[in-house]
Amino acid sequence: MSALCENELNRKRFECDPLADSAVAEVARNRGEKALRNHDLYSAVKELGTITKDSYCAKFIEFYEQEPSWNVEWQMCELGRRVFVRNSVFAGLVLMYGSLVSSFTAAFGNKVLSAMGRISPYGDVRRRLFETLFFVRAVVLGSLSEIKGACMRVRLLHAAVRHHLLHRDSGWEIEKYGCPINQEDLAGTLSTFSSVVIHGLETLGIFLSKAEKDGYQTLWRYVGFYLGMTSDMLCNNYEEEWELCNMIRVRQCKPDPDSLMLTETLLQEFASKPPFHLSYNASSSLSRLFIGDDLADELGLSRFNMPSQIIMALLYWMLRTMCLIQRGIPFLENVLYKFGKYSLNTIVHFSLGGRKPSFMMKVYS
């Protein structure tokens, strides 16, 4: 990484989302701080925006009536959506045991999770993760309005968390960690849903074409725009994003006690439970496979024993063979897509008890 890139990313740690932050501050002034913990935060923003046309809330709502400055290639996005849905079960494994565990190792970025306590021995770990899965489903199966709606709520949640940590006596060390949920953290998080998922699928044996990789990354680039990321942090293709992801990883992925606590909580909470019913050792070993030995050693993750290594090798070649076959048989690709769609919808429905997530700020201590 060049010094210029290093300096730029250092600056990004103190850059947040002025539009969303201003809208949330406006809600706090007009409705009180308690409104930020209300599941109708979005409704409050919309109502205030309707009352006062030149308010920050109005500008926030108006933002979602525009499209990005670049030409969004929807055919590519749809190709990327099919990639995830077709492989939703395995993509879910990558998200939970690869992307999430990798994000826990970010010694600066993980401080927000620790401060809010939602992924901790005393937080609601399962609901927090299934709310994230609901968001992913909106992105890969929802309409454009559903994608924008989900992004609005997540973006307001991020702004509410920033407001809480920066305006209350939370002990947040801004000089040390930068602003909570800053632009670098947003870029790193976006990559865990995008390029990291692609890399994880290939680790399992699911190889994608360049068009599929770029299509999936284009989809999440669009999402990043509506999550309030600046244009200079939104990459043009998969290769660029993977390079940025690794730059951030080198800078941040240095496991600390918070990393160990977050990882252990995740593995314990889902051991031998839905949606994957993997044992603690199996999920720990799978995380090692996804994040690599260096980080896994620092987290104390398990290794696959010999029988498990044989099973994983067989799975790898089975998935690789399936990829080759389905590319030549459109009917099979469609069957896999329908099965993946059914699996994703079923997991989300039963995980959340048929209810929609609140995207509400919660603090556990």
Among 134, 125, 107, CA closest to 256: 107
For residue 151, the model assigns a pLDDT of: 97
For residue 3, the model assigns a pLDDT of: 44
For residue 154, the model assigns a pLDDT of: 96
Decide if pLDDT at 357 tops 80.
no
For residue 121, the model assigns a pLDDT of: 58
- Containing domain of residue 80, as a range? 6-352
Task: With respect to residue 1, please indicate whether it lies within any of the assigned structural domains.
Answer: no
Residues 173-211 pLDDT 10s:
999 999 999 999 999 999 999 999 999 999 999 999 999
In the structure, what pLDDT confidence band is assigned to residue 303 with cuts at 50, 70 and 90? very high
Instruction: Give how many domains the chain has, as a whole number.
Output: 1
Higher pLDDT, 238 or 349: 238
Q: Which two tokens stand for residue 282?
A: 């199996």
Task: With respect to residue 364, please indicate whether it lies within any of the assigned structural domains.
Answer: no
For residue 361, the model assigns a pLDDT of: 65
Task: With respect to residue 361, please indicate whether it lies within any of the assigned structural domains.
Answer: no
Overall average pLDDT of the 234-243 stretch: 96
Task: With respect to residue 122, please indicate whether it lies within any of the assigned structural domains.
Answer: yes
For residue 360, the model assigns a pLDDT of: 67
Q: Which long-range contacts (CB under 8 A, 24 or more apart) does 128-131 make?
A: 129/96, 129/100, 129/266, 130/348, 130/351, 130/352, 130/357, 131/352, 131/357, 131/358, 131/359
Task: With respect to residue 67, please indicate whether it lies within any of the assigned structural domains.
Answer: yes
Q: For 66-81, give one letter per residue: b (16+ CB within 10 A) or e.
A: eeeeeeeeeebbebbb
Overall average pLDDT of the 327-342 stretch: 94
- The per-residue pLDDT of the chain, averaged, comes to 92
Q: Calculate what percentage of the chain has a pLDDT beyond 70.
A: 94
Q: Note whether 94 and 196 are within 8 A (CB).
A: yes
Residues 37-75 pLDDT 10s:
877 899 999 999 999 888 999 999 999 999 999 999 999
Q: Note whether 17 and 224 are within 8 A (CB).
A: no
For residue 1, the model assigns a pLDDT of: 40
For residue 2, the model assigns a pLDDT of: 42
Least confident of 27-36, 98-107, 145-154, 287-296: 27-36
Overall average pLDDT of the 262-277 stretch: 93
Task: With respect to residue 188, please indicate whether it lies within any of the assigned structural domains.
Answer: yes
Task: With respect to residue 359, please indicate whether it lies within any of the assigned structural domains.
Answer: no
Q: For 216-255, give one letter per residue: b (16+ CB within 10 A) or e.
A: bbbbbbbbbbbbbbeeebbbeebeebbebbebbbebbbeb
Task: With respect to residue 105, please indicate whether it lies within any of the assigned structural domains.
Answer: yes
Q: What is the pTM of this model?
A: 0.94
